[in-house]
């Protein structure tokens, strides 16, 4: 129904004329811009932009477009990504023993909300296989112990390469990814069961209950080596009261985890998220 588009994401030192040069670049090639948004972080002296235009070019034309773009954007001294909406990204969902985020994402995938191909589901446990395989989705188990972790991560990386996965979604995957893994495959979104920054460490809902807070939340963020401090993409919150037990907080928190993670994944797959430093710009 809607035409396919090209999407340029660019992050570079702020300087005069960037918007004019980039939109002129698109115009000269006959592109019709359907969405264009940018943000200048004056404090950081940084330009962060997103331009989307109608595009139905051939693979050869796209290769040329990338070369032309490098001529224009290269001298700006930053980094840029070019995406095409008709190149469907491939995702993998990693889980452990809790199914709520996994089922929610699988349903959204099937409902066409994500605009992605689901390559496989991976877990460190067998438990959730029965939710996944009947739907015709491959389910891979990689048990992890302290001793096997490094070797298993190498096998996981091979699988990601073989399956041409663009994005890993940690949907309550209770393992920490190593710095080696993240350097080899940096595109990973996690859901944190707390309103970051907040209760550090284990069982944040129980900590929230002990502290008697009146609102709890969840945080979807890109994964970095420094646990729970990667760039935040999306957060959501819900009111709680003294009547809620720690278990009620866990239950209410699950709903926020599902919503925040799904929104973050969708924003990223729509190429609406740029990171710089430890922060994100979300063009929405």
Give the residue numbers marked as catalytic.
Answer: 228
Determine, following the binding rule CB under 8 A, whether residue 27 of this chain makes contact with a copy of itself.
Answer: yes
Which string of x and - marks every residue 225-264 that binds a copy of itself (by CB under 8 A)? ------xxxxxxx-x-xxx-x-----x---x---x-----
Determine, following the binding rule CB under 8 A, whether residue 44 of this chain makes contact with a copy of itself.
Answer: no
Q: How far is the CB of 146 from a copy of itself (least distance, A)?
A: 30
Q: How far is the CB of 153 from a copy of itself (least distance, A)?
A: 28
Query: Judged by CB under 8 A, which of 11, 18, 162, 175 binds a copy of itself?
Result: 18
Query: Judged by CB under 8 A, which of 6, 9, 12, 26 binds a copy of itself?
Result: 26
Query: Judged by CB under 8 A, which of 4, 13, 37, 154 binds a copy of itself?
Result: 37
Q: Where are the alpha helices (DSSP H) in the chain?
A: 18-28, 59-73, 100-110, 129-132, 149-162, 179-184, 204-211, 246-269
- Whether the CB-CB separation of 129 and 137 falls below 8 Å is answered with no
Nearest CA-CA partner of 261 in 87, 115, 50, 100: 100
Report residue 143 as tokens: 């048990």
Determine, following the binding rule CB under 8 A, whether residue 138 of this chain makes contact with a copy of itself.
Answer: no
Nearest CA-CA partner of 39 in 30, 50, 53, 25: 50
Determine, following the binding rule CB under 8 A, whether residue 212 of this chain makes contact with a copy of itself.
Answer: yes
> How many distinct helices (H) and strands (E) make up the chain?
8, 13
Q: Where are the alpha helices (DSSP H) in 177-270?
A: 179-184, 204-211, 246-269
- Whether the CB-CB separation of 219 and 199 falls below 8 Å is answered with no
Residues near a copy of itself, by CB under 8 A: 2, 16-21, 23-24, 26-27, 30-43, 48, 51, 99-100, 103, 107, 111, 113, 134, 195-199, 210-215, 217, 231-237, 239, 241-243, 245, 251, 255, 259, 278-282, 284
């Amino acid at each position: 129904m809607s035409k396919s588009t090209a999407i340029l994401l660019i992050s570079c030192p702020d300087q005069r004329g960037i918007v004019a040069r980039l939109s002129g670049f698109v115009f000269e090639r006959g592109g019709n811009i359907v969405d264009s948004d940018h943000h200048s972080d004056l404090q950081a002296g940084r330009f962060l932009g997103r331009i989307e235009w109608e595009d139905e070019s051939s693979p050869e034309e796209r290769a040329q477009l990338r070369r032309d773009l490098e001529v224009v954007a290269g001298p700006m001294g930053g980094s840029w990504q070019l995406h095409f909406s008709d190149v469907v990204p491939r995702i993998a969902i990693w889980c452990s023993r809790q199914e709520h985020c996994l089922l929610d994402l699988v349903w959204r995938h099937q409902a066409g909300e994500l605009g992605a191909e689901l390559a496989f589901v991976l877990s460190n446990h067998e438990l959730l296989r029965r939710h996944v395989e009947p739907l015709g989705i491959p389910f891979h188990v990689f048990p992890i112990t302290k001793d096997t972790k490094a070797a298993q991560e190498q096998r996981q990386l091979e699988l990601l390469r073989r399956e041409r996965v663009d994005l890993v979604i940690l949907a309550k995957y209770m393992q920490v990814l190593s710095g080696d893994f993240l350097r080899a495959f940096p595109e990973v979104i996690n859901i944190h069961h707390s309103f970051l920054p907040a209760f550090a460490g284990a069982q944040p809902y129980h900590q929230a209950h002990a502290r008697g807070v009146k609102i709890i939340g969840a945080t979807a963020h890109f994964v970095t080596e420094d646990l729970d401090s990667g760039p935040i993409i999306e957060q959501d919150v819900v009111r709680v009261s003294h009547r809620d037990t720690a278990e009620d907080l866990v239950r209410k928190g699950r709903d926020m985890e599902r919503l925040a993670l799904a929104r973050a994944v969708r924003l990223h797959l729509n190429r609406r998220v740029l990171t710089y430093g430890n922060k994100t710009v979300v063009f929405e």
